[in-house]
Structure 1
Amino acid sequence: MESILVIEDNPDTREWLYSLAEEAFPGAAVDQEATLQGGRGRLPSGYNLALVDLSLPDGSGVDLLIDIQSDYPDTFAVVTTIYDDDRHLFDSIRAGAKGYLLKDQPRERLVAQLKGIARGDPPLSPGVSRRILRYLAGGARRTEPDAPRLTDREMEVLSLLSRGFNRHEIGKALDITANTAAGYVKSIYRKLHVSGRAEAIREAIGYGLVSAGGNDDG
């Protein structure tokens, strides 16, 4: 690894990750950013490795993973996070993460996991590896009974959301008012436990409620 980018909003944690990267890859140039937009601005410079936090002040690290997978495939993206749950893990993997490390591990273990990248070993925390194995065995797979129960009208609205329609356009398409459409959108967000269109589409794709390829108009 010659060049590494650390994207983490907490200053102390960012410095800690910086030191881990330096220890794992002596001589590598390590840059730091605290925001999603900062990371996006750095990526065109070209990096061998990106350590990506998921909770950033201006968005989700998952969006940065998507950018890396699409536009910077030579950058090896590894999530560094506190989130030890299936939703964050599998959203990250679907978005292109090549590794998933929990920050609460001992320093020496994290350094060893980063060093393993050079040997072709995926950097995965032990608990994460077990989750992936359970998922592949079917134990943690999302199934239809687990999906949020949306009404037929909410499914129509969700389908239009995934195609990039705004609330006024949804209202016109379904012959309802924009306010009524906004109410359906709010209900969908609540049931999917999200706060925006992009997150709603990701969750809906994960549950098989809509197909991939939706837009986010903000």
Structure 2
Amino acid sequence: MMVGERMTNEGRMTAQPVRVLIADDHPIFRDGLATLLEPHPDIEVVARAADGAEAVALASEHRPDVIVMDIQMPHVNGIEATRRVLAEQPSVGVLVFTMGEDDSTLLSAMRAGARGYLVKGAAQDEVVRAITAVAAGGVVFGASLAARIGELLSPSQTRQATEFPMLTEREREVLDLIAAGRSNGQIAAELFLAPKTVRNNVSAILSKLQATDRAEVIIRARDAGMGQRD
């Protein structure tokens, strides 16, 4: 059975609205979006969350088809909330709404499992199309992110994976930022990770690469084409 369908008592398939949870710490945007969506016959707003922690709890309670997720929220940000929701409900479609985050932040959201993003201020019909596309398993993202995804799939990225096959995807992500000269604190902020998580990743990278210090890691990573950021 596909999202948006249900079985009647007579055994017929009938259309069912896409169940949506809106997570945003700004009540004007959160309630305004709900007001725009609620009259639409193909969409049902089942819950509204004011922060990431509430979004995780309400997602577990209401089992939505799609979560419209803000990134910058108190207590638990949208990226971490996305990870937590998808760990429990991998079929949920997360659509990130942003005021215009940088590409690295948006890529972090996609790596966390988000299936798309829209800029706040998008037209109502564009929002509806994005929600229904994500609910159907599609991916929605802007041109700038598409270009960055293309970079991730470039031959240089393939080389990085070949050069460091012992590293996990997250460790290669951290290594790329180390090579770019970022401190642990900057890496934590950019990837929306806890400082302890970054320290653990750095320790794992040093151990797996059998490197004596951070400087050696930077040299090896840059030789592999990593750290080439603005």
TM-score, normalised by the number of residues in structure 1: 0.63
Unaligned runs of 5+ in 1: 151-186, 212-218
Match of 1:42 in 2: 58
Q: Structure 2 residue aligned with 1:117, among 116, 123, 134?
A: 134
SS state of the match for residue 32, structure 2?
A: helix
Matched, 1:32 2:48: yes
Instruction: Tell me if the contact between 1:24 and 1:114 (Cα under 8 Å) persists in the aligned partners.
Output: no
What residue in structure 2 maps to residue 75 of structure 1? Answer: 92
Determine if contact 2:95/2:134 at 8 Å carries over to the other structure.
Answer: no
Alignment of 1:1-218 (within 5 A): 1-22=17-38, 26-45=42-61, 46-117=63-134, 120-137=137-154, 144=176, 147-149=179-181, 188-189=184-185, 191-192=186-187, 194=189, 198=194, 201=197, 209=205
- Give the 3 Å change call, closer, same or farther, for CA 37–84 of structure 1 in structure 2: closer
> Residues 68 and 77 of structure 1 are in contact (CA less than 8 Å); yes or no, is this contact kept in structure 2?
no
The RMSD of aligned alpha carbons is 3.6
State the secondary structure of the residue aligned to 1:59: coil
C-alpha displacement at 1:146, in angstroms? 6.6
Identify if the C-alpha distance between structure 1 residues 7 and 31 changes in structure 2 by more than 3 Å, giving closer, same or farther: same
Q: Deviations over 1:32-85 (max 9, x none)?
A: 110122112212221111111111122211111111221111321111112432
Aligned residue pairs, count: 173
Which residues of structure 2 form unaligned runs of 5+? Answer: 1-16, 161-172, 208-230
Paired residue type of 2:122: Q
Q: Is the 8 A contact 1:22 1:30 kept in 2?
A: no
